[in-house]
């Protein structure tokens, strides 16, 4: 399997391979063999591994693999790439720039690259590195990888590099996180390789003829066939051979002892301890010091940890390499021959000595000017309670990685807080105590708790963030209104993310009861938090009731807060059907938003986003896109990445309505990726919902159904707008895939009675779709019912909604009055074009064509179908384009098979608009190949073949492999 994956990557297909096996099973050896095979194919390969005692280091395995090569590639990287990658790769860091947080204050969030941007940059970097000779990236021991590394890999497998890239990971199953274990299934080209123990015969071959059969059998039973365990026990066996006399009874006793062992890991640990204890004292001391120093260590640093002079350390190192305890790496540094050896060496140290060794290394690194994140690993293992210097180092380290690795930042901030005394030390001079507490770079507990809650929030640790925010609230005095309000906002947001809407509301109300002046900025922000929660549930009356108690401005309000309050007013008016009021509020809010500066929105950005959603629902698409771009710029600059998922989803909705479906799918995918980073069901579902809807319109039915099901799985039962939309999106995907009755039933259930939970625009669109389904099922009365609902819900001031309603009526009357249905569909086309809703304009043009055909006007039918085909083609709506082409051919129109972009430059035009890969797969189906055979022949996964086939079905207009084979054979 590894050879096939290597061959596929060499030919240009991305692959993600996962080796899974117990410790010592031979994963690292297989990876080494893979590297040799990559060399033979002239493929560039890079190798790195995560380390047991450096698990908090951000992107540790990736940095280990790529940093040295990037130092060579630095001149070939553009400045923007350098700025982004310099935040994680030491070789690309700008050493002339001061480290963020070096002064003890939080860095400017705008100076750090957001995680999702960094992930895309790394993916493009992989493509660049693979451009010349291909790239094999080998990552070992990922069960010890930090969250940032797993998040990066998750992004890469969901958005595969478009280059000759093979990524191979290895981990232990028992220690792997669920997210790591799911990566191979997430990847469309994932390959799972279990690494099994050796058989009896293989153990005999491994040990060689010099080991007798009884001893080989004993070693096999003791090791369970695990190669590393076997090697360790064999080494111990040889040690006994060398150190004992030839007493047969003693030998027999030892062999029986080995044979009776059942706890293999402890046995192996004993064997490794025996191996290490046989080292000379200096070599043993250096081995322990090296285990403390780093996974890949420099001799000088190990010597510092051991308090050993350089000549003695180098002599000891020679002994360690001679005994194969450590091995030299290509970088000139050294590593233990296996992580288990380092584990035993580290565990064999006395606790006090180990603490002192970490302290010596930390001090040495500080003297060298090493950045705080490098020192933090040792500081966190050696600092003493109340050590202000250690607290400052850990805080600085956390702030420097918070944008890229917030989980690591949370770990270090938590460690800093545990070192911080709660009360002043009575034994210390009060003046000195005050200087230490308030001097430059000295964070206080409340400050750190607020920072900790923030990084826990953005790293998806919702429960932990809520607990931290509540702890902070308990410590904050009642008159510290500003920080209390900030903590309540964080806590309420996390409670909502966890689906605990009532708890979030109770928390906000409780804090409001403490504030006597309800018009202060802090109180107003909490009050509009209540409005936002009600808007999410389409609770128009509740939202309006709170807004009615708020003035438009107050003397203490800044421009940002005024704009935030104004931004909340349009949607409740829209939900109540007061459209003129909604438009008036919308225009006022947009004017305030434009007049304010970016810095005015730091504390209220998540409320101003409702301006964008109001513009989206009220048909102001260009304004929505322009304002969302500005809001995302502010969100990046202020580190409020949790807002960006909502904004990206809003953009995806606009692009879907406008027919920019590929852009919509990409934006929605980005929103879902942000939601996964935040571990937010709500944000993830927003992205998945609009990704499902965009892909469904494009005819990517299998992918749309998969994404719709995933979106529904995130429904927390809160009965919010977004939760209902997930079910509606899945129902729409089911309908578009051809399962009309099933999809219609699901859509009706998802919409409910239409009085709550969904916006009017969506309800009109869903009623039109149900009218079409009923018409297709020859149920005119039912179709008329849905058309009447669409007409009743559509606001007459909105061309888009009126056009959709006209289309619904056209569906309902087409069977009985085709000529009038054609007129109504034509009117719908005009209205929808004016509204900028091209996909629906295309569907209306198609409906007009079919109605004219049924009315006997073939010329008009051909004209309308031609217009529909052009729209569908420009919007990448492949399934409807194929359907339109079939109707055109029935009317005698000669329509050549087209492949978008493939007709120029002398390239062959393929039938039915199939892509080259789709045509290749369809041809193999016609030849009688199974999906598995096609996958093997084209070096694809079966899942990828199935995805391509679903597109072939849609474009060819069939529903089975037999239909594909029949059609392709006719073409031939």
- Residue 434 CB coordination number (10 Å): 11
Q: How does strand 44-49 pair with strand 15-20?
A: unpaired
Answer yes or no: is pLDDT of 951 > 60: yes
Q: Using CA atoms, how far apart are residues 388 and 368, in angstroms rounded to an integer?
A: 20
Flag whether pLDDT at 230 surpasses 80.
no
Are 550 and 528 contacting, i.e. CB atoms less than 8 angstroms apart?
yes
Yes or no: say if 28 and 170 are a contact pair by the CB < 8 Å rule. Answer: yes
Selection from 455, 448, 493 nearest residue 471 by Cα: 448
Helix (H) and strand (E) counts for the chain?
Answer: 49, 8
| CA 805 – CA 817 distance, rounded (Å) | 17
Q: Any residues with CB less than 8 A from the CB of 629 and at least 6 apart, and which?
A: none
In angstroms, the CA 1 to CA 6 distance is 9
Residue scoring higher pLDDT (36 or 437): 36
Helix (H) or strand (E) holding 503: helix 501-514
In whole angstroms, give the CA distance from residue 310 to residue 322: 18
Please give the mean pLDDT across all residues of the chain.
84
**773 compared with 428, residue with greater pLDDT:** 773
Task: Looking at mean pLDDT, say which of 197-206, 246-255, 637-646, 679-688 comes out highest.
Answer: 679-688
Q: What is the pLDDT of residue 175?
A: 83
Q: What sign does the CA torsion over 195, 199, 201, 203 have? A: positive
Note the pLDDT of residue 539: 86
Residues 6+ apart with CB under 8 A from 217: 200, 259
Tokens standing for residue 505: 């509301």
Do 726 and 712 meet the contact criterion of CB atoms below 8 Å apart? yes
Q: What angle do CA 492, 754, 827 make, to 5 degrees?
A: 120
Task: Give yes or no for a contact between 489 and 525, defined as CB atoms under 8 angstroms apart.
Answer: yes
The alpha carbon dihedral of 477, 478, 480, 486 has a sign of positive
The gap from C-alpha 18 to its chain's centroid, in whole angstroms, comes to 19
Q: What is the pLDDT of residues 782-829, one digit of tens each?
A: 999 999 999 999 999 899 999 999 999 999 999 999 999 999 999 999
CA dist., res. 589 & res. 528, Å (int): 15
Structure tokens at 186: 């997430």
The label of the residue with tokens 């640093």 reads: 301
pLDDT band at 971 (very low <50, low <70, confident <90, very high): low
Higher pLDDT, 522 or 6: 522
Question: Residue 115, exposed/middle/buried by CB under 10 A (0-12, 13-18, 19+)?
Answer: buried
Check residues 209 and 427 and name the one with the higher pLDDT.
Answer: 209
Give the rounded percent of residues in the chain with a pLDDT score beyond 90: 44
CA distance linking residue 252 with residue 246, whole number of Å = 11
- Residue 852 CA to its chain's centroid (Å): 48
Mean per-residue pLDDT, 308-336: 92
Q: Which pLDDT score is estimated for 114?
A: 64
What's the angle, vertex CA 829, arms to CA 826 and CA 830, rounded to 5? 95
Q: What is the DSSP code (8-state) at residue 476? A: S
Backbone angle region of 26, left / alpha / beta, with phi > 0 → left and psi within -120 to 50 → alpha: left
Say which residue the tokens 């190669």 belong to.
227
Average pLDDT, stretch 615-629?
Answer: 94
715-768 pLDDT tens trace: 877 678 888 999 999 999 999 999 999 999 999 999 987 666 789 999 999 999
Q: Which of 181-195, 444-458, 850-864 has the highest mean pLDDT?
A: 850-864
Assign 776 a pLDDT band (cuts: 50, 70, 90).
very high
pLDDT recorded at residue 312 = 95
The single residue listed with the structure tokens 């209902």 is 724
Q: Which residues pair with 168 in a beta bridge?
A: 17, 138
Rounded CA separation 649/613 (Å): 10
Contacts of 933 by beta carbon, 8 Å cutoff, 6+ apart: 924
Determine if the pTM surpasses 0.75: no
In this predicted structure, what is the pLDDT of residue 308?
95
What whole-number distance in Å separates Cα of residue 367 and Cα of residue 419? 22
């Amino acid at each position: 399997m590894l050879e096939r994956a290597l061959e596929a990557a060499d030919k240009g297909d991305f692959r993600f391979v996962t080796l899974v096996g117990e410790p010592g099973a031979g994963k690292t050896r297989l990876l080494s063999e893979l590297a040799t095979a990559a060399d033979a194919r002239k493929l560039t390969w890079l190798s790195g591994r995560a380390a047991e005692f450096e698990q908090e280091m951000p992107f540790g395995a990736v940095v280990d693999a790529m940093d040295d090569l990037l130092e060579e590639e630095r001149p070939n990287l553009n400045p923007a790439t350098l700025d982004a990658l310099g935040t994680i790769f030491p070789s690309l860091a700008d050493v002339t720039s001061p480290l963020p947080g070096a002064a003890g204050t939080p860095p400017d969030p705008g100076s750090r690259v957001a995680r999702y941007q960094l992930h895309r940059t790394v993916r493009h970097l992989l493509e660049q590195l693979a451009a010349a000779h291909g790239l094999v990236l080998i990552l070992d021991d990922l069960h010890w990888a930090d969250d940032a590394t797993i998040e990066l890999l998750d992004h890469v497998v969901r958005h595969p590099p478009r280059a000759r890239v093979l990524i191979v990971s290895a981990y232990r199953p028992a220690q792997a996180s669920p997210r790591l274990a799911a990566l191979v299934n997430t990847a469309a080209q994932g390959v799972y390789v279990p690494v099994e123990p050796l058989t009896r015969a293989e153990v005999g071959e491994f040990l060689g003829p010099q080991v007798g059969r009884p001893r080989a059998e004993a070693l096999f039973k003791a090791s369970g066939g695990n190669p590393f365990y076997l090697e360790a026990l064999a080494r111990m066996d040889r040690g006994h051979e060398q150190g004992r006399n030839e007493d047969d009874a003693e030998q027999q006793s030892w062999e029986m002892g080995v044979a009776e062992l059942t706890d293999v890991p402890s046995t192996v640990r004993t064997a490794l301890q025996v191996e290490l204890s046989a080292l000379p004292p200096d070599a043993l001391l250096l081995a322990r010091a090296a285990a403390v120093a780093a996974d890949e260590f420099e001799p000088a640093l190990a010597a510092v940890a051991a308090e050993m002079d350089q000549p003695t350390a180098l002599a000891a190192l020679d002994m360690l390499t001679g005994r194969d305890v450590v091995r030299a790496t290509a970088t000139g540094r050294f590593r233990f021959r296996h992580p288990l050896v380092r584990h035993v060496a580290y565990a064999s140290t006395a606790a006090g000595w180990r603490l002192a060794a970490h302290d010596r290394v930390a001090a040495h690194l500080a003297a060298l000017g090493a950045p705080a994140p490098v020192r933090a690993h040792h500081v966190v293992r050696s600092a003493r309670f109340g050590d202000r210097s250690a607290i400052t180092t850990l805080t600085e380290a956390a702030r420097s990685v918070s944008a890229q690795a917030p989980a690591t930042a949370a770990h270090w901030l938590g460690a800093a807080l545990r070192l911080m005394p709660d009360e002043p030390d009575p034994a210390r001079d009060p003046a000195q105590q005050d200087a230490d507490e308030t001097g430059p770079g000295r964070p206080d507990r409340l400050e750190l708790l607020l920072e900790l809650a923030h990084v826990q929030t953005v790293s998806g640790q919702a429960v932990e963030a809520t607990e931290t925010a509540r702890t902070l609230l308990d410590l904050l005095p009642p008159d510290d209104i500003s920080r209390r309000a900030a903590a309540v906002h964080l806590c309420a947001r996390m409670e909502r993310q966890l689906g605990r809407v009532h708890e979030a509301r109770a928390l906000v109300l409780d804090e409001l009861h403490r504030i006597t002046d309800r018009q202060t900025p802090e109180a107003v922000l909490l009050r509009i938090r209540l409005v936002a929660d009600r808007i999410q549930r389409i609770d128009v009356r509740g939202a309006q009731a709170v807004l009615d108690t708020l003035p438009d401005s107050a003397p203490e309000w800044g421009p940002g807060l005024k704009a935030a309050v104004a931004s909340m007013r349009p949607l409740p008016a829209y939900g109540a059907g007061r459209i003129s009021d909604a438009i008036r509020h919308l225009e006022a809010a947009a004017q305030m938003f434009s007049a304010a500066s970016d810095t005015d929105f730091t504390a209220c950005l998540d409320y101003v986003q409702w301006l964008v959603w109001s513009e989206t629902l009220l048909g102001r698409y260009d304004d929505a896109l322009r304002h969302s771009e500005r809001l995302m710029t502010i969100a990046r600059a202020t580190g409020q990445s949790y807002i960006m998922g909502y904004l990206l989803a809003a953009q995806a909705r606009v692009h879907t309505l406008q027919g920019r479906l590929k852009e919509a799918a990409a934006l929605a995918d980005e929103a879902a990726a942000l939601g996964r980073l935040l571990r937010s069901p709500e944000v993830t579902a927003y992205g998945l919902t609009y990704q499902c809807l965009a892909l469904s319109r494009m005819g990517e039915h299998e992918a749309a159904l998969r994404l719709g099901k995933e979106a529904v799985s995130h429904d927390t039962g809160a009965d919010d707008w977004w939760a209902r939309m997930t079910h509606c999106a899945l129902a729409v995907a089911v309908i578009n895939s051809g399962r009309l009755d099933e999809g219609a039933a699901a859509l009706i259930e998802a919409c409910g009675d239409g009085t709550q939970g969904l916006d009017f625009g969506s309800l009109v669109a869903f009623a039109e779709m149900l009218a079409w389904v009923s018409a297709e099922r020859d149920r005119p009365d039912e179709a008329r019912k849905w058309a009447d609902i669409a007409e009743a819900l559509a606001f007459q001031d909105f061309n888009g909604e009126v056009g959709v309603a006209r289309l619904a009526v056209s569906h309902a009357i087409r069977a009985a009055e085709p000529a009038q249905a054609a007129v109504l569909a034509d009117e719908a086309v005009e209205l929808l074009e004016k509204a900028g809703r091209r996909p629906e304009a295309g569907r209306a043009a198609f409906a007009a064509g079919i109605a004219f055909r049924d009315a006997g006007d073939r010329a008009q039918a051909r004209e309308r179908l031609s217009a529909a085909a052009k729209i569908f083609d420009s919007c990448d709506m492949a399934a409807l384009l194929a359907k339109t082409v079939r109707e055109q051919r029935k009317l005698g129109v000669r329509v050549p098979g087209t492949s978008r972009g493939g007709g120029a430059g002398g390239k062959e035009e393929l039938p039915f608009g199939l892509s080259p890969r789709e045509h290749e797969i369809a041809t193999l189906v016609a030849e009688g190949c199974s999906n598995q055979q096609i996958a093997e022949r084209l070096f694809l996964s079966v899942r990828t073949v199935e995805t391509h086939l679903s597109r072939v079905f849609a474009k060819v207009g069939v529903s089975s492999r037999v239909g594909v084979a029949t059609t392709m054979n006719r073409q031939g």
